[in-house]
Amino acid sequence: MKLKTKVLLLAIAIHAIFIYILSQLYTVNRNAFLIAEASVFISLILTYLLYRAVSRPFDTISSGIASLKDKDFSAKLNKTGHREMDELIYVYNLMIEQLRQERLLQVEKSSFLEKLIEASPSGIIIFGFDGSIASINPAAEEIVGLQRSAILGKPINQVSGRLPELLSQLETNAPKVVNLNGIKSYKCHKATFTDQGYTRTFITIEELTAEIYTKEKNAYEKVIKMMSHEVNNSIGAINSLLNSCLNYKHQLNDEDQEDYMTALAISINRNNGLSDLMSNFARVIRIPEPVRHQIELISVLRSVALLMEPEARKKEVNWQWETDAASFETFADAQQLEQVFINILKNAIEAVNPSGTIRIQTCSSTKSISIANTGSPITNEVSQQLFSPFFSTKKNGQGIGLMLTREILYNHNFKFSLENTEEWTEFKIHVH
């Protein structure tokens, strides 16, 4: 029961007793009755006025309490005319104003932070109190390669993909650079923040691919230029001397001339091979900017496959073509893309098992080309180094093919990937 209701009931009870006593006084002393009746009437008026004066602050306080319950910090209380109550109302209004300002500031900060996270080029994943993914920005969504609806509400270790697997192994406040399939490099950092008194976790993902690629390219360009200069200068002088030595074969005994010529020929051929090797390395740093034209990719793919047919026939390779359109056009350098397809198909033929399958797919809706083979899958250790300079899994490999492929595709701004699927090792290129 409210306090003002209790006051009202008490006033009614007291005046009811007075009225009963007056009814007994009427027969005894009529003059005293009239005086007492007037006093009770005046008392009723004063009590009513007092009740109004008391109930108004109570109503004011009740409305203030209701505003606080509804979290409405915009409503302020009006003064009642009572000094004590007005002081209380002043403090209440001051508190409400501070709460309103803090709430407004908090909303503005929260809105700014949300927009900053959404617009950030770095991927940001925020986890809830239970460790599941509570929020993910568009950059992280693109990096992970999954739709937001498929990620939210799940722990990171239950999200499919190589990157989520690596993210689940991160330690707090221990930044780590991870490499995916030798193509993409990311700096990942796991940290914590306090929300409502509890600790929550977030992960930032910053792509370093372009930065690492630029530094890596500058480094091997300097090495190749230096090696090429020194080797070619030496080879030219040595071959000149060796060819001059061939003129002296007649000064030898007849039985020694053949061995002499064979030794010199082997040395010259070896020097020429070394020169060719350096030329292959130099090709990587001398790739010209692409001269773009409108080209039809399916016909380019078929001509490259025809070129590689003799090698494929030795392994009895089965060709599987899956094209969703009669033509597939893009704006690119035809000769450079042809070299890319030659490198990819050559690697696919070498990797596929005898009587295996090479599948060539085109998808015009996603503007993608896929070249896959049924050879042995690429291990995680190898996949992280595939596009590294001069790395090769072949016994006599130079690591030039994939370097050249990466350089050409980067110059075209084409996205690409090399990874294992269920039964295929797939090289996929997304063109414009």
pLDDT tens for the chain, 432 residues long, are 666 677 777 777 877 777 777 777 666 777 777 777 777 778 777 777 777 766 666 667 777 777 767 677 677 777 767 777 777 777 777 887 888 888 788 878 878 888 888 888 888 899 988 889 888 988 888 888 888 888 888 888 888 887 888 888 888 888 888 877 667 778 889 998 888 778 889 999 888 766 666 666 666 667 666 666 667 777 777 777 777 777 777 777 777 777 778 777 777 777 777 777 666 666 666 677 888 889 898 888 988 888 888 888 888 889 999 888 778 888 998 888 888 898 899 888 888 888 889 999 988 888 899 999 988 887 766 666 666 655 566 666 556 677 788 888 888 888 888 888 778 888 899 988
Fold of 293-430: Heat Shock Protein 90 (3.30.565)
Evaluate whether 120-207 and 293-430 have a shared fold.
no
Domain extents for the chain?
A: 3-72, 120-207, 212-285, 293-430
318 closest CA partner among 373, 378, 361 = 373
Question: What is the pTM assigned to this prediction?
Answer: 0.54
CATH class in words for 120-207? alpha beta
323 closest CA partner among 375, 374, 368 = 368
Contacts with 76 (C-beta within 8 Å, 6 or more apart), sequence order:
93, 96, 97
Burial 161-194 (b: 16+ CB within 10 A, else e): ebbbebbeebeeeeeeebbbbbbbbbbbbbeeee
Residue appearing with tokens 């049924």: 374
